[in-house]
Chain A
Amino acid sequence: KAGVTQTPRYLIKTRGQQVTLSCSPISGHRSVSWYQQTPGQGLQFLFEYFSETQRNKGNFPGRFSGRQFSNSRSEMNVSTLELGDSALYLCASRADNSNQPQHFGDGTRLSIL
């Protein structure tokens, strides 16, 4: 069974640009969550989608947004990039609305110049 797939793996952007990251969950999983990982803050929750609906959102500015499609694939978008947005962005999927474990992809490494 294929795991969580994130594309692209690496991305370099400049300040002010916008970026879209993609996540394909494990087949059959309807819940997708996004996290930002930095050396100083660790993993911080961005938002969560279940059956195309955003259920929860972390404490990030409105420049960070996301969506989920009917096939459960998800995208997150960051507009007006800032140097501080440089991070590893991780996507995790779960089968349903339960306390079963989330399974993570290997992330997209975003570097802002």
Chain B
Amino acid sequence: EDQVTQSPEALRLQEGESSSLNCSYTVSGLRGLFWYRQDPGKGPEFLFTLYSAGEEKEKERLKATLTKKESFLHITAPKPEDSATYLCAVQARYGGATNKLIFGTGTLLAVQP
């Protein structure tokens, strides 16, 4: 069964304290792995797409990496405005065409000034 697991469930950092979030997945053929950020009362906001092992994407203080079994979201020198829930999702290769995403339960990140 296709599955996505994120850890930790919650993370509290001091401003400037770098860390990493983990997303491990089991899927029958990966079409893409997606990272989203979700603020309270809002829908998920797209951050990155990774398609193959070894790929890396970077945006401001965030960097996403991908291996055959997991992805990491590295946060360098975070600021309070980086506080949010970070969601990981995978799109699998099914028999027919589909855009179905399988989500992890997210990591709630709190960055304190």
Interface 1/0 per residue, A69-105 and B, CB below 8 Å? 0000000000000000000001010100101111111
**Contacting pair A104 B32 (CB below 8 A):** no
Residues of A near B43 (CB, < 8 A) are 4, 6, 90, 92, 104-107
Q: How many A-B residue pairs have CB under 8 A?
A: 70
Decide if A63 is an interface residue (CB 8 Å cutoff). Answer: no
The answer for the CA separation of A90 and B94 in the assembled complex, in Å, is: 23
Q: How large is the interface on B (under 10, 10 to 19, 20 to 34, 35 or more residues)?
A: 20 to 34
Decide if B102 is an interface residue (CB 8 Å cutoff). Answer: yes
Residues of A near B45 (CB, < 8 A) are 104
Residues of B near A94 (CB, < 8 A) are 99
**Contacting pair A55 B96 (CB below 8 A):** yes
**Contacting pair B49 A42 (CB below 8 A):** no
**Contacting pair B91 A99 (CB below 8 A):** yes
Chain A residue total in the interface (Cβ 8 A) = 27
Residues of B near A103 (CB, < 8 A) are 46
**Contacting pair B46 A99 (CB below 8 A):** no
Decide if A33 is an interface residue (CB 8 Å cutoff). Answer: yes
- Across the interface, B99 reaches (CB within 8 A) one of A42, A90, A102, A106, namely A102
The residue of chain B having its C-beta at the shortest distance from the C-beta of A44 within the complex is: B103
> Beyond A55-B98, A97-B99, A99-B32, is A106–B46 a contact (Cβ under 8 Å)?
no
30 contacting pairs across A/B (C-beta < 8 A): A6-B43, A31-B99, A42-B87, A42-B106, A43-B89, A43-B101, A44-B103, A45-B100, A45-B102, A48-B98, A50-B99, A55-B97, A55-B98, A56-B96, A56-B100, A58-B100, A90-B43, A92-B43, A92-B101, A94-B99, A97-B97, A99-B32, A99-B49, A101-B49, A104-B44, A105-B43, A106-B42, A106-B43, A107-B42, A107-B43
